[in-house]
Amino acid sequence: MSSLPPGALAADVAGEVVWLLPERALFWPAAGLLVVADLHWGKAETFQRSGIPVSSRLLADDLGRLAAALDRTAARRLVVLGDLIHGAVGLTPGLVAEVAAWLGGVGAAVTLTAGNHDAHVAHLPAAWPIEVVPALREGPFLFRHEPEPDADAYVFCGHVHPTVRVGGRGGVRLPGFHLGARVGVLPAFSLFSGGPTCRLAPGDRAFGVAGARVVGPLDVARSSG
């Protein structure tokens, strides 16, 4: 896809153009690569096992949003920056079957750069055709879960679940993209997540996901937390 989708913003990172999508995803057009972080599949099921009433629609909603991002970009590959799953107890037979059916209809190859939550299981379900690697290096980028800089590449990662505050202390908090000088952190893809407000260094850029559009760059206070 050559044209920017409605609601998305383009940003220059390490000499490459990337798109920040309102689905809480990043697309690298030159590589046909869609990137998301922190899906936490099975989090609702984990809470339910503890007796906490959480909607079972969360997974279906997240899968629908991910399918929309793949369709809107015509991405050939999907990279998940860790925490694909929330924990072993959440991998119920119903969830495994629902995800397997969804993956069977996806035209993109799926790679997971394993995160700390993914370590709760030795292997992903056999019915899920997902390649698992510690990290993925391609072009000027290094894709991984943890927000640690690399000497030879710009790092895209997750783990932090960054948010941005719009309108000062009385405003609203939105899921955010935090693009630093050497590390870019994606918002948690899961709607069932929260996270800290971005702390910006000079030259950093922050963008918020406001419903069906990405807004920014935002003037986020460097002292916010």
Q: Is residue 225, in this structure, part of any structural domain at all? A: no
Cβ 135 vs Cβ 142: under 8 Å: yes
User: HEC profile for 24-65?
Assistant: CEEEEHHHCEEEECCCCECHHHHHHHCCCCCCCCHHHHHHHH
Residue 16, SS3?
strand
- List, for residues 34-66, the tens digit of each pLDDT value: 999 999 887 656 555 656 566 567 788 899 999
- List, for residues 130-188, the tens digit of each pLDDT value: 999 999 999 999 999 999 999 999 999 999 999 998 876 667 889 999 999 999 999 99
The mean of the pLDDT values for the chain is 88
Q: What one-character DSSP code corresponds to residue 121?
A: S
Residue 7 has pLDDT above 50, yes or no: yes
Task: Collect all residues with Cβ–Cβ distance below 8 Å to 112 and sequence separation of at least 6.
Answer: 79, 80, 82, 84, 118, 124, 130, 131, 132, 133
- List, for residues 212-222, the tens digit of each pLDDT value: 999 999 876 54
CB atoms within 10 A of CB 5: 16
Cβ 167 vs Cβ 195: under 8 Å: no
Please count the residues of the chain.
225
CA distance 212 to 3: 17
We report the CATH number of the domain holding residue 110 as 3.60.21
Token duo for residue 158: 């997750």
State phi, psi for 99 to the nearest 5 degrees: -70, -40
CA distance 89 to 114: 18
Q: Is residue 221, in this structure, part of any structural domain at all? A: no
Residue (of 61, 65, 64) closest to 23 by Cα position: 65
Q: Is residue 45, in this structure, part of any structural domain at all? A: yes
Cis peptide before 217 (omega within 30 of 0): yes
Task: Using the CB atoms, write b or e for 94-132: b if 16+ within 10 Å.
Answer: ebbeebeebbeeeebebbbbbbebbeeeeebbeebeeee
Q: Is residue 1, in this structure, part of any structural domain at all? A: no
CA distance 169 to 3: 36
> Which has more pLDDT, 113 or 193?
113
CA distance 225 to 220: 10
Please tell me the total count of domains within the chain: 1
- Could you tell me the residue range of the domain that residue 172 belongs to? 9-215
Look up the pTM and report it: 0.91
Q: Is residue 135, in this structure, part of any structural domain at all? A: yes
Q: Is residue 3, in this structure, part of any structural domain at all? A: no
Q: Is residue 222, in this structure, part of any structural domain at all? A: no
